[in-house]
Amino acid sequence: MKYLRTLNAAMERFLSRFLPTQFLCAAIALTALNFLLDYTVASYTSIYLSMLSGWLFAMSFLRFRAQ
């Protein structure tokens, strides 16, 4: 349990460096890249890029505790 607490604190310290608008801008950029690749490459299907942009979009709504 102590390992999970330490890991959680480390992740919060790392993610608190970024502003919510930075997460939102990264999500918009990845979504635009996904659409661009989808319409220009004939056999392109990427669920992973969509999941990553969705995760970044969700991270723009979170608030991290300042240590």
Please give the model's pTM, rounded to 2 decimal places. 0.74
How many angstroms separate the CA atoms of 55 and 10, rounded? Answer: 19
Residue 11: pLDDT above 60? yes
List, for residues 19-41, the tens digit of each pLDDT value. 888 989 999 999 999 999 989 99
How many angstroms separate the CA atoms of 8 and 4, rounded? Answer: 6
Supply the mean pLDDT for the chain. Answer: 87
The residue to which tokens 């995760």 are assigned:
55
Going through the chain in order, the beta strands assigned E by DSSP cover none
How many angstroms separate the CA atoms of 45 and 39, rounded? Answer: 10
The structural domains of the chain, with segments of one domain joined by +, span 2-59
Tokens at 20, concatenated: 């919510």
